[in-house]
A = this chain, B = another copy of it.
Amino acid sequence: MQAGSSGGGSRGPQALGSGDGGRVRDSKTKHRTYEPAYVHIVRIVSARIAAGEYRPGDQLPSESGFCAEFDVSPMTLRRAVNILVDRGLVTTAQGRGTFVRGLYLGEASFTLQQLTDRWRDASTEVRLLTASIVPAREDVAVMLGLGPGDSAVFLRRLFLNDGHPFMCHSEFVVYDPRRPLVESQLQITSLDGVLKSAGGEGFARARLSIRAVNLDDETAGYLERPAGTAVFCLEHTFEDFDGAPVSWGQFYFLSDEFQLVTTLGADWPE
Q: Min CB distance, A251 to chain B, in Å?
A: 9
**Across the interface, do A212 and B209 meet the contact criterion of CB distance under 8 Å?**
no
Give min CB distance, A102 to chain B, whole Å. 5
A135 smallest CB distance to B (angstroms): 28
A12-20, A143-151, A175-183, A200-208: which lies at the interface:
A200-208
Copies of this chain, tallied across the complex: 2
Residue of B nearest to A260 (CB): B210
Chain B residues near A267 (CB, 8 Å)?
204-205
Q: How far is the CB of A230 from chain B (nearest CB, A)?
A: 4
Task: Count A interface residues, CB 8 Å.
Answer: 59
Q: With the chains together, A111 CA to B236 CA distance in Å?
A: 17
| 7 A-B contact pairs sorted by A residue (CB < 8 Å) | A57-B201, A106-B195, A108-B208, A109-B109, A199-B265, A206-B263, A212-B230
Chain A residues with a Cβ under 8 A of chain B: 50-52, 55-57, 75, 102-113, 115-116, 192, 195-196, 198-201, 203-214, 228-232, 236, 238, 241, 255-256, 259-267
Q: Beyond the given A57-B201, A109-B109, A211-B256, could you list 20 further A-B residue pairs with CB under 8 A, ordered by the A residue number?
A: A50-B204, A55-B201, A102-B196, A102-B200, A104-B196, A105-B199, A105-B236, A106-B112, A108-B111, A108-B112, A204-B267, A205-B267, A208-B263, A209-B260, A210-B260, A211-B255, A212-B232, A214-B214, A214-B228, A230-B230
